[in-house]
Amino acid sequence: MAVLSRGFHGRRDDNAGLPPGQYLTHDFPVLSAGPTQSISHDRWRFTVTSETGERRSWDWAQFMALPSEETTVDIHCVTRWSKFGTSWRGVSLDVLLADVETSADYVLVHSYGGYTTNLPLEDLLDGKAWIVHEYEGEPLDPVHGGPARLLVPHLYFWKSAKWVDGLQLTVDDEPGFWEGLGYHVYGDPWREQRYDGD
């Protein structure tokens, strides 16, 4: 007869979707590279700049008039927490980039406050990324990136830049804030790409 140590209850199904090295939380931890930004709707603007310098911009009213969608996704922070089933509303990057002519392969994301992060352009397309303005049916709180943040749930959450104000399309991959400080240039949680060299 097998002997089981006290407290052994088998595998927990609620942890089945965790990437390696992560733990599940029901909270929504607040982590930022700097102070929380306070951007009014009147001041907010989102701009896409192509590699040739062409610009396309939306103010808050124009952005809110774009077709939006709800998405429910799991999110994974490089500091090892994961949160399952988070619900967001926002505008797909497919909509925002639909009329942008580019031969760029990369994007440098810019935020109010000076934060940047880099991504391959293909990771923002085909229903993989949004500029979100609601979380769990409420306007996005500034501590979580409101009024709008990038959401790229298949990568570590530092890639989902808070207080986003624009995308710069680039031919070459340019490291952003954390990537320049030794974080992985891509950040796939399923491959534990936390730091340079992982």
Q: How many angstroms separate the CA atoms of 155 and 163, rounded? A: 18
Mean pLDDT by 10 residues, the chain (198 residues): 36 68 91 84 97 96 98 96 97 96 96 97 98 97 96 97 97 95 96 92
Structure tokens belonging to residue 92:
């797909």
Query: For residues 128 and 112, is the Cβ–Cβ distance under 8 A?
Result: no
Q: Domain extents for the chain?
A: 48-191
In CATH terms, is domain 48-191 a member of 3.90.420.10? yes
Please list, in sequence order, all residues whose beta carbon lies within 8 angstroms of the beta carbon of residue 155, skipping any fewer than 6 positions away: 119, 123, 186, 187, 188, 189
**Predicted local confidence at residue 9, as pLDDT:** 35
**Predicted local confidence at residue 148, as pLDDT:** 98
pLDDT of residue 35: 83
The CA–CA distances, whole Å, from 66 to 39, 108, 144 equal 20, 23, 22
- Cα separations in angstroms, 183 against 125, 134, 166: 23, 28, 22
pTM score of the predicted model? 0.90
Q: What is the structure's pLDDT at 2?
A: 39
